[in-house]
């Protein structure tokens, strides 16, 4: 559980975020969705209010808060009907720099991220030919003098067009030359503003929901060696370390989605009268909503637990993974029950249910698919043999 002394702060944060979100109503998100346009005004408002710097320590100009508070912010954005996918990465990507970057890198980048001058919104891991089998990635960064020369292709790199910096994971030692397949991967901070004119191409991918995702091509892109984060070859360790934060924060967004759906569904079920009574009077409508509610609340406890462990610097891999699994399932269950409650009207754009339905479906697949979480739990928590 989050420490009691934080409860007041969390409630204050919740209220402040809800207030900010009121300026970005359903119509704002709906209109952007139809154009698949980036919510620039929303991201700017959120950044200006300091929320994107929640996890940056105060000594670097941030708010110095924990993942518990970051989760509260993201949950509230989703509960209000918005979508934090446009900017959430800055919160967890920054952690890799914070934990493994040199003092010089932290001094150079963290204050500029906190003061809104730069955006670190892009995280480059996925590749088209290797998928979830991350250690097989082919993008290669070859060291020559004071630079790395990067060649390869990434896919599903969200927000690359709206970010100044990208945290890139690439191979620096060929897989045939390492003892463990997770060795020989490195993390580089790529300045996208420079790279765009020197071998980097970004191509947007239109998806079923409004998510500024792209494919990114590296054609001998030079990255200064001073932008290597931590030790060369240790990148997979740094990556795993950041994934717990990512899972907890995305889980919090799912909780927010679940609450949004159930609020809307219950309101509608009380108002919609068919056969002379509100549809919400029928157990066939009530039970799926009640079950989804119970699952959202249970998942929320797991998110709180994972966040509390993370903030206490305790191991939290199982809890972070279970939080993501349970929260994504609960938000999807809520989405489905809500669509059913709305009947035909659920399919009409003007009710926003179909938009949120599309948006929350993503979390069964990204940033890690449900199957891969189940494999993790089976192997690392239950001690069963590795299945892949």
Ligand X SMILES: Cc1cc2nc3c(=O)[nH]c(=O)nc-3n(C[C@H](O)[C@H](O)[C@H](O)COP(=O)(O)OP(=O)(O)OC[C@H]3O[C@@H](n4cnc5c(N)ncnc54)[C@H](O)[C@@H]3O)c2cc1C
Q: Which residue, 121, 116, 4, 20, is CA-closest to 68?
A: 4
Residue 187 binds to ligand X (criterion: CB under 6 A): no
Distance CA 9, CA 63 (A): 12
Q: Is residue 166 near ligand X by the rule CB under 6 A?
A: no
Residue 178 binds ligand X (CB under 6 A): no
Q: Which residues are CB-contacts of 114 (< 8 A; sequence separation ≥ 6)?
A: 53, 56, 60, 61, 62
The residue among 239 and 262 lying less far from ligand X, judged by its C-beta, is: 239
Whose structure tokens read 């320590």? Answer: 57
94, two tokens: 């920054």
Residue nearest to ligand X (CB): 131
- Report the site for ligand X in 15-34 (rule: CB under 6 A): none
| Site for ligand X, residues 343 to 362, rule: CB under 6 A | 362
Pick the stretch among 20-28, 139-147, 190-198, 363-371 that binds ligand X (CB under 6 A).
Answer: 363-371
> In this structure, are residues 335 and 361 in contact, taking their beta carbons and an 8 Å threshold?
yes
| Of 16, 116, 178, 365, the one binding ligand X by CB under 6 A | 365
Cβ burial 121-155 (10 Å sphere, 16+ → b, else e)? bbbbbbbeeeeeebbebebbbeeeeebbbbbbbbb
10 vs 214, which CB is nearer to ligand X? Answer: 214
CB of 217 to ligand X, least distance (A): 14
CA distances from 215 to 21, 94, 199, 367 (A): 30, 21, 14, 16
Q: Is 211 in the site for ligand X (CB under 6 A)?
A: yes
Give the one residue of 372, 376, 377, 378 binding ligand X; rule: CB under 6 A.
372
Cβ neighbours for 388, distance < 8 A, ≥ 6 positions apart: 133, 375
Q: Binding to ligand X by residue 320, rule CB under 6 A?
A: no
Q: Which of 42, 92, 156, 268 binds ligand X (CB under 6 A)?
A: 156
Report the alpha-carbon distance of residue 155 to residue 130 in Å, rounded: 10
Query: Considering only 153-161, 230-238, 285-293, 305-313, which stretch makes contact with ligand X by CB under 6 A?
Result: 153-161
Which of residues 157, 192, 299, 323 is near ligand X by CB under 6 A? 157
CB of 283 or CB of 387, closer to ligand X = 387
Q: State in angstroms the smallest separation of the CB of 47 from ligand X.
A: 18
* Assigned token pair, 180: 């463990």
d(CA 330, CA 299): 7
The reply on whether position 131 binds ligand X by CB under 6 A is: yes
Report the residue from 96, 158, 227, 321 that binds ligand X according to the rule CB under 6 A.
Answer: 158
Total residues at the site for ligand X (CB under 6 A)?
Answer: 22
Closer to ligand X by Cβ: residue 149 or 372: 372
Say if residue 154 is preceded by a cis peptide, omega within 30 of 0.
no
* Cα distance between residue 143 and residue 223, in whole Å: 9
Residue 135 sits in the site that holds ligand X (CB under 6 A): no
**Which range in 23-31, 48-56, 156-164, 259-267 contacts ligand X by CB under 6 A?**
156-164
Best CA proximity match to 129, nearest among 139, 143, 144: 139
Q: Provide φ and ψ at 199, rounded to 5°.
A: 100, -5
Where does the chain have alpha helices with state H?
Answer: 7-22, 26-35, 40-48, 67-79, 89-100, 103-114, 192-195, 235-271, 283-311, 317-342, 353-361, 370-376
Among 27, 371, 381, 384, which residue interacts with ligand X (rule: CB under 6 A)? 371
Cβ-in-10-Å burial (0-12, 13-18, 19+) of 260 comes to buried
Min separation Cβ 150 and ligand X, Å: 15
Contact mark string toward ligand X, 190..209, x via CB under 6 A? -----------------x--
CB of 126 to ligand X, least distance (A): 3
Tell me whether residue 126 or residue 341 sits nearer to ligand X (CB atom).
Answer: 126
Q: Is 213 in the site for ligand X (CB under 6 A)?
A: yes
Q: Which of 182, 340, 375, 376 binds ligand X (CB under 6 A)?
A: 375
Q: For the chain, what's the residue count?
A: 388
Asked whether position 367 contacts ligand X by CB under 6 A, the answer is yes
Which residues make up the interface to ligand X (CB under 6 A)? 123-126, 131-132, 156-158, 207, 211, 213, 362, 365-369, 371-372, 375, 388
């Amino acid at each position: 559980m989050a420490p009691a002394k934080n409860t007041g702060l969390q409630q204050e944060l919740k209220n402040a975020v809800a207030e900010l979100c009121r300026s970005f109503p359903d119509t704002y998100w709906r209109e952007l969705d139809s154009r698949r346009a980036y919510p620039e005004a929303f991201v700017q408002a959120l950044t200006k209010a300091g929320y994107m710097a929640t996890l940056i320590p105060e000594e670097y100009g941030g708010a110095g808060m924990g993942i518990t508070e970051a989760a509260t912010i993201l949950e509230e954005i989703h509960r209000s009907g918005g979508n934090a996918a446009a900017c959430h990465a800055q919160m967890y990507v920054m952690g890799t720099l914070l934990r493994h970057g040199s003092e010089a890198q932290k001094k150079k980048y963290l204050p500029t991220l906190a003061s809104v001058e730069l955006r670190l919104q892009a995280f480059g891991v996925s590749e088209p030919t290797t998928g979830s089998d991350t250690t097989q990635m082919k993008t290669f960064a070859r060291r020559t003098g004071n630079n790395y020369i990067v060649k390869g292709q990434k896919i599903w790199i969200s927000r690359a067009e709206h970010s100044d910096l990208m945290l890139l994971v690439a191979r620096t030692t060929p897989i045939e030359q390492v003892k463990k397949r997770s060795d020989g991967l490195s993390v580089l901070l790529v300045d996208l503003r420079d790279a765009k004119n020197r071998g980097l191409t970004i191509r947007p991918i239109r998806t079923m929901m409004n998510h500024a995702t792209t494919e990114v091509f590296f054609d001998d892109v030079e990255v200064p060696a001073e932008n290597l984060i931590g030790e060369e070859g240790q990148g997979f360790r740094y990556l795993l370390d950041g994934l717990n934060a990512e899972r907890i924060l995305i889980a919090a967004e799912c909780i927010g989605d679940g609450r949004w759906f159930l609020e809307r569904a219950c309101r509608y079920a009380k108002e919609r009268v068919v056969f002379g009574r509100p549809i919400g009077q029928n157990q066939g409508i009530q039970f799926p909503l009640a079950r989804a509610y119970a699952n959202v609340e249970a998942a929320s406890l797991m998110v709180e637990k994972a966040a509390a462990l993370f903030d206490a610097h305790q191991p939290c891999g199982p809890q972070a993974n279970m939080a993501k699994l349970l929260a994504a399932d609960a938000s999807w269950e809520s989405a489905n029950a809500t669509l059913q409650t709305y009947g035909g009207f659920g399919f009409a754009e003007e009710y926003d249910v179909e938009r949120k339905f599309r948006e929350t479906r993503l979390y069964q697949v990204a940033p890690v698919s449900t199957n891969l979480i189940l494999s993790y739990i089976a192997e690392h928590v239950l001690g069963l043999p590795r299945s892949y």
